[in-house]
Amino acid sequence: MPVGVQNYTTHFFVTGDPLIYGVDVSIILVSLAIVYVLTRYRKWGWLWREWLTTVDHKRIGIMYLIAALLMLFRGGVDGLLMRTQLAWPNMHFLEAEHYNQIFTTHGTIMILFMAMPFIFAMFNIAVPLQIGARDVAFPYLNAISFWLFFFGALLFNHSFVIGGSPDAGWTSYPPLADLPFNPGPGENYYLLGLQISGIGSIATGINFFVTILKMRAPGMTLMRMPLFCWSVLAACIIIIFAFPVLTVALALLLIDRIAGAHFFTMFDGGNPMMFVNMFWIWGHPEVYIVVLPAFGIFSEVVATFSRKRIFGYSSMVASMLAIAVISYFTWVHHFFTMGAGPGVNSFFAVATMIIAIPTGVKVFNWLMTMFQGRIRITTPMLWTLGFIPNFAIGGATGVMLSVAPADYQYHNSYFLIAHFHQVLIGGTVYGMLAGMYYWWPKMFGFKLDERLGKWAFWFFNIGFYVCFLPQYLVGFMGMTRRVYIYPPGLGWEIPNLISTIGAYLMGVGFILIVADVVYSIRYGERDLTGDPWDGRTLEWSLSSPPPHYNFARIPRVDSRDAWWEMKQRRQRGEPMEEPEPLRPIHMPKNSGVPFILCVAFFVAGFGFVFNWYVFSVIGLLTVAICLFHRSFDYDTDYYIPVEELEHHEAALGRT
Amino acid sequence: MAHTSEGAARHAASGPPWMHIIGFVLSIVLTLAALWLVLGHAMRPAPLFFTIMVLAVLQIAVQLFFFMHITESYGPAWHVWMLALGVVLVVAIVAGSIWIMTFGGDVAY
Ligand code: HEM
Ligand SMILES: [Cu+2]
């Protein structure tokens, strides 16, 4: 083989690591298997018509959910690999370089490609149904958002086998992330993967903001909305204002790297700390973006399974809006040690402590809702109950970290690692799993098995404490984050070993969740009523799964917990209104353009990663053509005629 | 759905799109002015930064009034509230960043 070609292939494909060869083989096998199954059962057309071109929020929600679970798996395997390496002093399981890559991809994937799609899954699945709408405000844009996320994540994940993974941490600080210290495509993957999916996130924020403000059923005033919708509204406000800052920061860093600019370089007037500043202007609000929807889900779950109205509704709303605004005023707590001076540090320390107050209010409200309620311990409720002590500890250690002088001790130690895993896992992941178990029957028409679900919860929950409590300890003993090896004799052995055992317990928990899904597809209890949990909000008034138009008649709402009130009235034997006659329903048409548009983004991104600008030009041109096409496309919607509606409703056993 | 077509009809009825034409001209003028100031080294850096910032803010105003229909709304004017919040946050971010990045001293970045 000519040397040029040989060099080229060894640089293009990542070589030399048996782990990665293993992955190469499994990627190829899985891809072949998928192609085989699709071809064998003639499912290509089905895939295209029903999924790749869909603009239905329920299907988009399901695709987000699947993607989030896959990414949770990949991120989780990364976590287990790291914990294996750290289980004992002087381990030689991962090399330094490989370890750096793994903590970088782990962090990035967990936040941007697991937590974000998971919350978007819940947005899509629940919001339109809860407010009595037939879809989101901009269904076509919603499809674009999903595919941008999907291809952004796909691009990022390619780094693993093609070109090499990024290794400057999920925060990607320059100067380490600058070209001189980080040649090769890894960091470009990070920048472009995040950039592409970030456009999608901004669009989702706008989409759901408008949906909630403009598409509520008649009578559903803002203060009658389910709390989950409020939490989504608050999260969307944060997305709209925070994500553009990330977009700018990433774009400037990319320009530094591929066009030789000096925004964040060490010399020539650049200032690397400015990137840190901008990253966290987005980064802190981001943690609230992923945790507020979890709060919303807990509120729904607690009310349903305590059979009570949520306690302190308006204080819940007020605290979420307060969090949405205050979260912009705390960002320096991620770099107190930069030394911006006592004035700056004090201001941001106090702002950080203040934000704990509305959060505390919410915890008390959940507890008061359960007080004297008729509590049913179902799987969603278990995750909610598990969340409360988790968040209490995570919140307390957060306030410890917010004390700026003390943070000089804790900063970048395992104490910090334990803290943010406690709030991210205990808050976001528990919340999303609660939501997944809660809305699963609504989406798929069957419940997930409760017994397996409870086993999964206990493995995960106990594993969590076993994994992360020792890390507080070992942090106090001086172990810093992002170390790949440590010598014996520091007293770190035992806590690290325990921690690794805990991580594997959580792994078992995850496997049990997957097992639960697989088992329940066959044997799960079918949901024939549409209201398996005796719910309170409008989504439970529909059949499971709901028809593609959701509501044959848009419901009229005159109180909070609208569906619960309707059921109460029916029980008291109050006369029901005559249902209005059905009318044709206005629906958006499916379209393949969002998918093609995002493939084009992927191609353009790939071109930027490897500085092969031909690809970038082709990709961006295709993007422009797609946008142009859409601007002049007037055939975007249709009406479902009444006969068809009657037919559908009759098939669902409804009138 | 009905809203959008109504709105479109109203715009179509009013002859040539003067608002868009004026807005387009104004935004081009503002952009060229900024470009000329920088390329021509027309001022010292500090006043130059300041002037460009002023031009940028004017540009935002032009976009909002001429293209983004800030004055129109069906129902509550949520977009105005969001913009007000946006102004607060942008001021906080810009002022905060300057405060932070001068490291409590007079090292200007
Ligand atoms: C299966 C459970 C998990 C395990 C065992 C785990 C383990 C770890 C380990 C060992 C590190 C690296 C520490 C270091 O060397 O500095 C780490 C970092 C990190 N983890 Fe996790 N993790 C888990 C879940 C999560 C989740 C669910 C999230 C977010 C939602 C998350 C977000 C992060 C972030 C942002 C970092 C920092 C990466 C960096 O330093 O750039 N992790 N995790
Ligand atoms: Cu923060």
Q: Please tell me chain A's helix, strand, coil percentages from 3-state DSSP, rounded to the nearest 5.
A: 70, 0, 30
Put simply, the answer to whether A342 touches B103 (Cβ < 8 Å) is: no
- Which residue bears the tokens 């999608």? A200
Candidate from A214, A241, A277 with C-beta closest to B97: A277
Task: Kindly report whether the peptide bond that precedes residue A183 is cis, defined as omega within 30 degrees of 0.
Answer: no
Q: Which of A519, A501, A407, A373 is nearest to A455 (CA)?
A: A519
Using DSSP bridges, classify how beta strands A585-588 and A637-640 pair: parallel, antiparallel or unpaired: antiparallel
- Calpha distance A20→A78 (Å, rounded): 13
Residues 6+ apart with CB under 8 A from A380: A301, A305, A434, A435, A437, A438, A533
Task: State how far the alpha carbon of A534 is from the alpha carbons of A122, A176, A310, A539, in Å.
Answer: 20, 54, 15, 11
- Calpha distance A540→A528 (Å, rounded): 12
ipTM of the complex: 0.85
Contact list in B for residue A637 (CB cut-off 8 A) is 1
| Residue A603 CA neighbour count, 13 Å, CB half | 16
Task: Kindly report whether the peptide bond that precedes residue A545 is cis, defined as omega within 30 degrees of 0.
Answer: yes
Count of CB atoms situated within 10 Å of the CB of A631: 7
Residues B18 and B45 in one domain: yes
Supply the pLDDT for residue B104.
Answer: 57
Supply the pLDDT for residue A581.
Answer: 87
Give me ligand 2 centre to Cα A420, in Å. 9
Contact list in B for residue A331 (CB cut-off 8 A) is 96
| Ramachandran area for residue A639 (φ above 0: left; ψ -120 to 50: alpha; else beta) | beta
- In terms of CA atoms, which chain A residue is nearest residue B3? A214
Residues B22 and B44 in one domain: yes
Cβ–Cβ contact A342 with B under 8 A: yes
Give me ligand 1 centre to Cα A421, in Å. 7
Q: Whose CA is nearest to atom 34 of ligand 1?
A: A107
CA angle A274, A277, A283 (to 5 degrees): 140
For helices A313-326 and A272-306, angle between their N-to-C axes, nearest 10 degrees: 170
Put simply, the answer to whether B109 touches A339 (Cβ < 8 Å) is: no
Put simply, the answer to whether A241 touches B86 (Cβ < 8 Å) is: yes
Contact list in A for residue B82 (CB cut-off 8 A) is 209, 237, 240
- Calpha distance A566→A18 (Å, rounded): 61
Regarding the beta carbon of A205 and ligand 1, being less than 6 Å apart is answered no
Q: What's the average pLDDT block by block, 10 residues per block, for chain A (655 residues)? A: 50 73 81 86 88 95 96 95 95 91 95 97 96 94 97 93 90 92 91 96 97 94 96 96 96 94 90 94 96 96 94 94 92 91 91 91 93 92 96 93 92 95 96 97 95 96 97 95 94 96 97 96 91 94 92 91 92 82 92 95 94 94 95 90 90 80
Put simply, the answer to whether A344 touches B100 (Cβ < 8 Å) is: yes
Q: Testing the interface with B: which of A222, A328, A336, A345 to mutate, by most B Cβ within 10 A?
A: A328
| Residue A385 CA neighbour count, 13 Å, CB half | 14
- Calpha distance A104→A482 (Å, rounded): 9
Regarding the beta carbon of A555 and ligand 1, being less than 6 Å apart is answered no
Residues B92 and B68 in one domain: no
Residues B20 and B71 in one domain: yes
Residues B18 and B71 in one domain: yes
Burial class (CB in 10 A: 0-12, 13-18, 19+), B27: middle
Residues B88 and B36 in one domain: no
Residues B71 and B84 in one domain: no
Supply the pLDDT for residue A269.
Answer: 86
- Calpha distance A52→A59 (Å, rounded): 10
- Calpha distance A570→A500 (Å, rounded): 54
CA angle A41, A45, A114 (to 5 degrees): 90
Supply the pLDDT for residue A52.
Answer: 94
Residues B71 and B93 in one domain: no
- In terms of CA atoms, which chain B residue is nearest residue A586? B1
Q: What is the pLDDT of residues B24-55, one digit of tens each?
A: 999 999 999 999 999 988 888 889 989 999 99
| Residue A98 CA neighbour count, 13 Å, CB half | 18
Q: What is the DSSP-derived secondary structure letter of residue A639?
A: E
Cβ–Cβ contact A12 with B under 8 A: no
Count of CB atoms situated within 10 Å of the CB of B22: 13
Regarding the beta carbon of A482 and ligand 1, being less than 6 Å apart is answered yes
Q: Which of A388, A461, A395 is nearest to A423 (CA)?
A: A395
- The alpha carbon of residue A241 is apart from the nearest alpha carbon of chain B, in Å, by 7
Regarding the beta carbon of A104 and ligand 1, being less than 6 Å apart is answered yes
Residues B62 and B105 in one domain: no
- The alpha carbon of residue A344 is apart from the nearest alpha carbon of chain B, in Å, by 6
- Asked if pLDDT for residue B8 goes beyond 80, the answer is no
Token output for A71:
């990414």
Question: What residue numbers bound the domain in which B26 lies?
Answer: 5-75
Q: Whose CA is nearest to atom 1 of ligand 1?
A: A76
Cβ contact A530:A567 at 8 Å: no
Domain count, chain B: 2
Token output for B68:
């983004």
- The alpha carbon of residue A322 is apart from the nearest alpha carbon of chain B, in Å, by 13
Residues B84 and B102 in one domain: yes
Put simply, the answer to whether B109 touches A271 (Cβ < 8 Å) is: yes
Cβ contact A139:A225 at 8 Å: no
Long-range contacts formed by A635-640: CB under 8 A, 24+ apart: A635/A589, A636/A140, A636/A588, A636/A589, A636/A591, A637/A586, A637/A587, A637/A588, A637/A589, A637/B1, A638/A586, A638/A587, A638/A589, A639/A584, A639/A585, A639/A586, A639/A587, A640/A549, A640/A584, A640/A585, A640/A587
Give exposure, A475-498, as e/b (b: 16+ Cβ within 10 Å): beeebeeeebebeeeeebeebbbb
- In terms of CA atoms, which chain A residue is nearest residue B105? A341
Cβ–Cβ contact A581 with B under 8 A: no
Supply the pLDDT for residue A655.
Answer: 66
Residues 6+ apart with CB under 8 A from A589: A55, A635, A636, A637, A638
Q: What is the DSSP-derived secondary structure letter of residue A448?
A: P
Cβ–Cβ contact B99 with A under 8 A: yes
Cβ–Cβ contact B2 with A under 8 A: no
Regarding the beta carbon of A421 and ligand 1, being less than 6 Å apart is answered yes
Q: Which of A342, A465, A359 is nearest to A408 (CA)?
A: A342
Regarding the beta carbon of A424 and ligand 1, being less than 6 Å apart is answered yes
Residue among A72, A102, A170, A417 to mutate when testing ligand 1 (max atoms within 8 A of CB): A417
Supply the pLDDT for residue A4.
Answer: 45
Atom nearest to A82 CA in ligand 1:
10
Residues B26 and B14 in one domain: yes
Residues B60 and B94 in one domain: no
